[in-house]
Amino acid sequence: MNSDDTLPKREDDIKSRQSGDDNSYRSILKGTSAFGGVQLFQILINLVRGKFVAVILGPDGWGVSSLLASAMASIQQFASLGLNLAIVNEVAASKDDPGRLSRALAVGKRLVMATSLTGALVCLLFSVPLSVFTFGSGDRALWFALLGIAVFFSIAGAGLMSVLQGLRCVRRLSLASLVGASSGLVFGVPLYWLFGIHGIVPAMILLALSNFTFYFISVRRELRGHPRARFLWAEHRPLVRKLIGLGVVMMASSLIGTLVSYAISAWIRHAGSMTDVGLYQAANSATGQYVGLVFAAMSLDYLPRLSAASADRAKLSDVVNRQTEIVSLIIAPIVVAVMLSTPLIIRVLFTGEFLAVAELLRWMAFGVLFKGLMYPLGYISFAREDKRLFFWLEGVMSNMMTLVLSVGFYRWFGLVGLGMALVADCSICLLVYLCVTRRRYSVVYTGRTALSVVVSVVIAGAGFAASFLSATAVSCALMSTVLVISLLLSVLRLLRLLRK
């Protein structure tokens, strides 16, 4: 046989090995740890920035900064049309096809530019109404007009980040995120000191601009030498519709989730008290601070791998199983650690007055375990571009179940009932997702994955049960024992998987 005839096969073997490496346990852990570290660093940066705002500007400045940040986040969420994850999905699926990738990048660039300009124009044209709605008068209209600059660079930067995420450029994405956040802090804080509350918007602009700059440089370097495609409406219209369709479905699902969260808080205030609302939000915040790192890291690393394998059901099932196995090994020790350190968490993040939320926090931590196990299944329909199923599962079914269970359990059991509702909600959703994904996409747990899931639930359940013992010393000793066992099992299992 001519040696030239073997070249295509060798190239296919290389691509196959590369694809397999993307879904190796080592690659999954590398991506999760890298993005988790970035998320932790950004949380610390935000804490430092918040401390400077509190010290330099005082409570009034903190309030102004929070209101402007909330307004900017809302405008950005609607103006971006949820395109970020849609771009991640398309870029990841096109990574091995240069022509398709060029088209995806051309369309993504045009759509991100359009949404960035839309966000900026909304701030400019509605600056007076936004000022009246936010601050009760039109005196701060100039702030919102200038905030449009920050919105523009934030949406554009998020679009560039989506490209890096879709290409799975872990190192470049991590570095750009770290440098951008640090630069925003270094150059933004002096503005608070020099201009007081009038430096808040310029600081937000600098943060958005610094993030955009480093993402832009990273994307240019990553795509150096890659063929480019011109945007042609007649040719690219189907892809435009496809990305906007996926993005709008994602945005609608997020909007329903936001409305449900608001409705739950409103119900708690109506049926209970503002104190219960504050305690519930504190428990949510405390749980998110610790476990949210895992979810954020998964969303950055997992979706691109899932999208790349979405066309092959066998590969898709393999990606889901490996991700679920890693999640079960990571999240169980975190959940037990949160249960054990609940009083310390409350005292560090809040004050001793919030200790009444300890039992609720333990219930919510246990519920987050099932939420983590559900997470890898929830993205399958999005990666497969099954918009209707994604909307009804993620947007409607999941959120309506959260609303109904939260309202009912709070009425029956009070504040702790909200934690019970989370456990029931995530457990039921996990079972529903397992049934739906098995029937529609032939995705099933392997025996090894199922065993990891069961072990993680049993371990977290043991720690959860120990937390209810009346003798505090015995309870802490048992939870500590469960935590050590959980850590040992997870570390030994992860080392064994890495050797494979």
Mean pLDDT, range 17-24, rounded to an integer: 50
Look at residue 471 and tell me whether its pLDDT is greater than 70.
no
Computed from CA positions of residues 325, 328, 331, 337, in that sequence, does the dihedral angle turn out positive or negative? negative
Residue 11 banded pLDDT, cuts 50, 70, 90: very low
Q: pLDDT by residue (tens digit) across 372-408?
A: 898 889 888 888 888 888 889 888 899 999 999 999 9
Over residues 50-54, the mean pLDDT reads: 69
In this prediction, residue 19 carries a pLDDT of: 41
Q: Is pLDDT above 90 for 187?
A: no
**Mean pLDDT value of segment 39-53:** 72
Residue ranges of domains in the chain: 23-231, 260-500
More confident residue, 458 or 238: 458
Q: pLDDT grade, residue 454 (50/70/90)?
A: very high
With 70 as the cut, is the pLDDT of residue 327 above it? yes
Model confidence, pTM: 0.75
Q: Poorest-confidence range of 74-83, 240-249, 292-301?
A: 292-301
Q: Calculate mean pLDDT across residues 433-459.
A: 92
Rounded-to-integer distance, Cα 250 and Cα 254, Å: 6
Query: In the block, which residue shows the tokens 């991506």?
Result: 31
Query: How large is the average pLDDT for residues 105-133?
Result: 91
Q: Does residue 21 carry a pLDDT above 60? A: no
pLDDT tens digits along 335-352? 898 888 887 777 766 666
User: Of the candidates 383, 401, 392, 370, which has an alpha carbon nearest to the alpha carbon of residue 441?
Assistant: 383
The mean per-residue pLDDT over the stretch 353-364 comes to 81
pLDDT at 428 over 60: yes
pLDDT band at 59 (very low <50, low <70, confident <90, very high): low
pLDDT tens-digit readout, 404-427: 999 999 989 888 999 999 999 999
Sign of the Cα torsion 337, 426, 244, 76 reads negative
CA 116, 118, 122, 124 torsion-angle sign: positive
pLDDT at 161: 87
Mean pLDDT (the chain) is: 81
Looking at per-residue confidence, does 423 or 67 come out higher? Answer: 423
Q: What percent of the chain has pLDDT over 90?
A: 21
Considering only CA atoms, which of 224, 225, 187 is closest in space to residue 206?
Answer: 187
